[in-house]
Amino acid sequence: MRSQLKAGAILSYLLLVLNSAISIVYTPIMLKLVGQSDYGLFSLASSAIGYVSILNFGLGNAVIRYTAKYKAIGDQEKCNQLYGMFSVMYGVLGFLALIAGIIVTFFSETIFSNSLTGEEVIKLKVLIGIMALNLAVGIGFGVFSVIVLAHEKFIYQKTLNIISSMITPLLTWPLLEMGYGVITISVVNTVISLITILLNIHYCFKVLKIKIVFKKFESSLLKEILVFSSYIFLNLVIGQLYWSTDQVILGIYSGTVAVSIYSLAASFTGYFSGFSSAISNVFLSKVSRMVAQNLPDKEISDLFIRIGRVQYIVISFALSGFIVFGKEFIVLWVGKNYSESFIIALLILIPMIVSLIQGMGGIVLQAKNMQKFKSVVNVLIAIVNVVISIIFVRYWGAIGCALGTALAYTIGNIIIINIYYWRKVGINIPLFWKNILKMSFPMLLSVIYSMTINLNFSANDWLFFIFKTLIFSISYILIMWFAGMNNYEKSLFLIPLKNVIQKLTLKMKEVKMHI
């Protein structure tokens, strides 16, 4: 089980790095082949259909939580009945998602006609329609991918995700070169999604040997699951209001170019979120077991701090690098027309970092079934965010939307939630921040040092840019290693390195013996 956790975390980061690399290579190609307007349309369609995606109701986390609960007490029959109940619930939600997707498709013309041309509206409707079908099928059969996670088979699922991530651009790139347009991307994504669903179904029945038993639902269990999932559902709504509403607002008031610029900036927030969730997501089952076993709050708090420190090492490295080189990277990557994306990304990223390094907090709340307060606070803050963004967009466009999101995020996900973690959940937040502040000095030192050098040596080509980032990376790693990391964190890097060296040494000895 521990090997699955470690492999899951490693493969999650590999998938994140792979997706980031693909995006870096593929995005400028896509922009060149489809144009700024169609790229904005694709992003707008994704944001619009994102509101339908919340109809999965957060059931995935419920499947993981209750599977862990029944496996801990050895009740396999309960698990079988649980899967039957969830299969029906997912099927119903998939049907509702299809209906909602059709409604969004038909009303998209009314919503966006003021800022889009007639041709753009037609393309938008087709894109939303294809995405709605993909989403409805994905939700309807989503129980099988979650069952794989519930059994902590991270190696299989992450490997499947890695393969699908590689296949998608390999299929869409030549089709775009042939002139098939942005709609092709949605079609390819749908086909790959269907294949992935079939593979997950096969794995569940043939490898995991699961049984799905359809019996009369236990009303008490169903009520408990609905209450548990309802708070996660609220968080999904909040997530959409935070991260997709700005694109929709810009689509209504400013048009596809503004959506394109904002979406490019938002893609960086996606990378950073991945760095955090890649670690925290694989710990949901572990934290659920800790809570089920009534372990002391101190053990959960220690895990929260330990994982938060590891996340901060990785995320602070990415953030400091973006602060120093972000604007140069964007200009070299997609051109000066997108330089405004750097400011938008920074406005969102800086407050978001706190929430990312505290990703375990959400996992703990789910395991303890204590999401209510956070959900209520975030709903109120998300509504405030929408209001502020609508006001600010009229004065500062895309930057105004980002500013509104940053202000709302700081109030809700930094100030209020940290107080709640400390006072109600039992997490030692003062000790957490003591740890983070100590680790921030090496980060600030590397940023100041690198910015001083960078101001005098601007990059006009990729070769020199890569050279500068390598120098920065080396300086950051050295400073953080000697001034920020503790022995446990160093061991996370040293032990795998020693294992690799030992294996290579043994192989070399075997080769010499054969010679």
Instruction: Write a three-state SS string for 225-283.
Output: HHHHHHHHHHHHHHHHHHHCHHHHHHHHHCCHHHHHHHHHHHHHHHHHHHHHHHHHHHH
Are residue 413 and residue 384 in the same domain, yes or no?
A: yes
Asked whether residue 515 is assigned to any structural domain, the reply reads no
pLDDT of residue 448: 86
Sequence-ordered list of residues with C-beta below 8 angstroms from that of 234, at least 6 positions apart, any chain: 371, 375, 376, 378, 379
The helix (H) or strand (E) run that includes residue 331 is: helix 297-334
Asked whether residue 419 is assigned to any structural domain, the reply reads yes
| Contact assessment for residue 427 and residue 301, using Cβ atoms and an 8 Å cutoff | yes
Cα within 13 Å of Cα(277), Cβ side? 10
pLDDT of residue 285: 61
Query: How far separated are the first and last CA of the chain, in Å rounded?
Result: 39
Asked whether residue 504 is assigned to any structural domain, the reply reads no
pLDDT of residue 70: 84
Asked whether residue 508 is assigned to any structural domain, the reply reads no
Residue listed under structure tokens 């179904």: 201
Are residue 247 and residue 261 in the same domain, yes or no?
A: no
Are residue 266 and residue 155 in the same domain, yes or no?
A: no
Tokens, residue 485:
């990391």
pLDDT of residue 345: 92
Q: What is the length of the chain?
A: 515
Are residue 200 and residue 294 in the same domain, yes or no?
A: no
pLDDT of residue 171: 92
Last residue of a domain, one of 253, 287, 321: 253
pLDDT of the chain, 515 residues: tens digit per residue: 556 666 666 777 677 778 778 888 888 888 888 888 898 999 899 888 988 888 888 788 888 888 888 877 877 888 888 899 999 999 999 999 999 999 999 988 888 888 788 888 999 999 999 999 999 999 999 999 999 988 878 888 888 988 998 998 999 989 988 888 889 999 999 999 999 999 999 999 999 888 898 877 778 888 888 887 887 787 777 778 777 788 889 888 888 888 888 988 888 877 777 666 656 555 656 666 776 677 777 888 888 888 888 888 888 888 899 999 998 999 888 888 888 899 999 998 888 888 888 877 877 887 777 777 887 888 888 888 889 989 998 888 889 999 998 998 888 888 999 999 998 888 899 999 999 998 888 888 888 888 887 777 777 788 889 988 898 898 888 888 888 888 888 887 788 778 778 877 777 777 666 65
Are residue 93 and residue 237 in the same domain, yes or no?
A: yes
Asked whether residue 505 is assigned to any structural domain, the reply reads no
Asked whether residue 159 is assigned to any structural domain, the reply reads yes
**How many whole angstroms separate alpha carbon 238 and alpha carbon 40?**
23
pLDDT of residue 284: 57
Are residue 17 and residue 115 in the same domain, yes or no?
A: yes
Residue 391 belongs to domain spanning: 255-497
Are residue 263 and residue 213 in the same domain, yes or no?
A: no
- As for how many domains the chain has, the answer is 2
Are residue 418 and residue 473 in the same domain, yes or no?
A: yes
> Percent helix, strand and coil across the chain, each rounded to 5?
90, 0, 10
Q: How many helices (H) and strands (E) does the chain have?
A: 19, 0
Cα within 13 Å of Cα(208), Cβ side? 27
Are residue 68 and residue 181 in the same domain, yes or no?
A: yes
Are residue 247 and residue 351 in the same domain, yes or no?
A: no
Residue type (1 letter), 36: Q
Sequence-ordered list of residues with C-beta below 8 angstroms from that of 301, at least 6 positions apart, any chain: 426, 427, 428, 431
Question: For the chain, what is the largest distance between any 2 Cα atoms, rounded to a whole number of angstroms?
Answer: 76
pLDDT of residue 420: 92
Is 0.85 topped by the overall pTM? no
Are residue 348 and residue 364 in the same domain, yes or no?
A: yes
Write the Ramachandran bin of 179: left for phi over 0, alpha for psi from -120 to 50, otherwise beta.
Answer: left
pLDDT of residue 61: 82
Are residue 300 and residue 226 in the same domain, yes or no?
A: no
Sequence-ordered list of residues with C-beta below 8 angstroms from that of 193, at least 6 positions apart, any chain: 134, 137, 138
